[in-house]
Structure 1
Amino acid sequence: MKTVRLYAEIARQIGGQILADHYPMGTRLPSERELSEAFNVSRPTIREALIALEVDGLVDIRMGSGVYVSAKTPRGGKFSAIGVGPFELLEARRAIEGEACAIAATRVDAHDIKELKTLFDNLVAAGEDVEKAETFDHQFHISIARATRNSAISGAVEALWQARLRSPQEKAMSQKAHRAGVGPRIDEHFAIFEALAARDPDLARGAMRAHLDKVLAALIQATEVQEIAELDASLTARRQRFGLA
């Protein structure tokens, strides 16, 4: 049985409304808050749906302005393949990689610690080179999973990363985050490394979960659209009200 992801279903419903001219070309879509209320889902789910629509060329997401209809039909005449949503992936990674990190802390040896330190140093040295930094970030997380000495755990973590790398929605969201200045989080990776080097499973679990929580928060902040526009409009109205505009 084929699983229909909630954000994908919402993306296709909005796409159908665009095709039916409910939202004509150039029209700004309702805000995330309004759409989340209309579909009775969370705002992150709406955000994933909007990213999917942008990937298919149906909308143009303009930071600080809103989401505008840019085409009536998706590129190539059909919706692109739908993968796991970026927020779903992070939720799964938090659960699985958090525990993997705790287990790894009880099983790492000197070779593992040396390898992780090298990967961390490479991550730092990558600096503003996003492609290199992403590669070392990936290797760092996979090395932790392998340090569990459990092939099922390392396979699950690798599968999550492969889903992340294959997802056009994840790629689009990551690009937005990079443009907003979000990159590999050096201090958080060092905290993970230190917890593993100390062989402290509770500290390691907490460090990994804290890291992924902050990644999620950064992604949400980097992809804020209508809320920023609405705040700007509200502030402008207040300035005008008090003669400050």
Structure 2
Amino acid sequence: MKNRRLFWQIVDQIEEQIDAGAYPVGSRLPPERVLAETFSVSRPTIREAIIALEVRGRVEVKTSSGVYVLESGKDQKDGPSISAFELTQARALVEGEAAALAASIITDEELERLQQTLLQMDSGNNPEQADKEFHNIISSATRNNALQLTIAGLWAQRESNKDIQAAYKGVCSQSDAERLREHTSIYQALKNRDSQGARSAMHAHFNRLINSLFEASEAKALEEVRRKTSQTRDLYSLNHLVKS
């Protein structure tokens, strides 16, 4: 299994073509079917790539019209920025319901794949990639394209927003054991076909994550206060006037 999801490779290639002038600003990208044939990938992979490009502000999706190239560097639809806290809350709400829905229809093969991601996390072999694959399997198990696209969009936000990347990196890298335990609880609920249990386990997972984000934010703010206080003390200190 590759460390980098396939759709990110498509994102890179389309961005290279945009930058090279193959798709000028204001032009429309080829239809999803054509892009899938061009890059020899599935149409869902192209959809994920388009979502990521939209999050990056490279394209704009117009319903019933197509996907249009935006001016380079233009913020996504000039919309508001999203914090790590907002993203985590949204993920909890959406992925909690996805887990509840998946619990009643998930297949044995999907459960086996989930278990493999748990083994990968436990081995310490690229746990971040295993984490994303775990959530992606549950998303696919819903059999709901709207939910799958929504979850893919939230993941794209996480992977393209530098502030969110930094916030998650500091938290996730320090909680591998807790993350494994939480994912195992979600897996057991899904295996037991327990919708409420799957929802609750997913909520508990994100609740711990968002609390960890708050703790990290508070620690960072406290360190900044200490730094500024130290600078002020040095500026106004009379120690150099006081003889020992």
TM-score after normalising by structure 2? 0.56
Structure 1, unmatched stretches of 5+, are 1-77, 234-245
Task: Indicate the residue corresponding to 1:49 in structure 2.
Answer: none
Q: Match of 2:182, SS?
A: helix
Which of 122, 127, 133 in structure 2 is aligned with 1:133?
Answer: 127
Alignment-mate amino acid for residue 152 of structure 1: A
- Evaluate the alpha carbon distance shift between residue 175 and residue 116 of structure 1 in structure 2; reply closer, same or farther with a 3 A threshold: closer
Aligned-pair CA distance for 1:227: 4.2
Counterpart-to-counterpart distance in 2, 1:107 and 1:202: 14
Question: Aligned AA for 1:200?
Answer: D
State the SS of the aligned residue for 2:82. coil
Pick the aligned partner of 1:165 from 150, 159, 166. 159
Residue number among 103, 108, 119 corresponding to 2:101 in the alignment: 103
Equivalent residue, structure 2, for 1:226 = 221
Q: Is 1:182–2:180 an aligned residue pair?
A: no
Q: CA deviation at 1:139?
A: 0.6
**Residue 65 (structure 1) aligns with:** none
Structure 2 unpaired stretches of 5+:
1-72, 230-244
Residues 144 and 178 (structure 1), Cα distance of their counterparts in 2 relative to 1, 3 Å cut: closer
SS in 2 for 1:223: helix
Map of 2:4 onto structure 1: none
Q: Which has the higher contact order (CA 8 A, sep 6+)?
A: 1
Match of 2:117 among 104, 113, 119: 119
Q: Count residues in correspondence.
A: 150
| Structure 2: distance between partners of 1:197 and 1:210 | 18
Describe the SS at the equivalent of 1:149.
coil
Write the distance in 2 (CA, Å) between the matches of 1:86 and 1:197: 30
- Distance apart, 1:167 and its partner CA: 0.6
Instruction: Check conservation: 2:98, 2:138, Cα contact below 8 A.
Output: yes
Aligned residue among 200, 204, 208 for 1:206: 200
In the alignment, the residues of structure 2 paired with residue 90 and residue 134 of structure 1 have an alpha-carbon distance, to the nearest angstrom, of 16
Q: Residues of 2 paired with 1:83 and 1:174: CA distance? A: 16
Structure 2 distance, partners of 1:169, 1:229, is: 17
Match of 1:52 in 2: none
* Displacement after TM superposition at 1:185 (Å): 0.9
Contact 2:99 2:195 in 1 (8 A): yes
| Residues 124/152 of structure 1: CA separation in 2 closer, same or farther (3 Å cut) | same
**When the two structures are superposed, what TM-score results if normalisation uses the length of structure 1?**
0.56
Shift of 1:226: 3.4
Deviation, 1:178, is 5.2
| Corresponding residue number in structure 2 for 1:151 | 145
- Alignment check: 8 A CA contact 2:84 2:168 kept: no
Alpha carbon RMSD of aligned pairs, Å? Answer: 2.6
Residues 171 and 209, structure 2, Cα contact 8 Å, conserved in 1: no
Distance 1:228 1:189, change over 3 A: same
Deviations 1:16-53 (A, max 9, x none): xxxxxxxxxxxxxxxxxxxxxxxxxxxxxxxxxxxxxx
Taking the aligned partners of 1:167 and 1:208, their CA distance within structure 2 comes to: 23
Aligned partners of 2:85, 2:221: CA distance in 1, in Å?
19
1:215–1:105 Cα change, 3 Å: same
**Aligned match of 1:61:** none
Is residue 176–residue 223 contact of structure 1 (8 Å, CA) maintained in 2?
no
- Hey, what's the Cα distance between the residues in 1 that align with 2:144 and 2:217? 36
Flag as ranges the 4+ runs of structure 1 deviating above 3 A: 80-83, 226-231
Q: CA deviation at 1:176?
A: 2.9
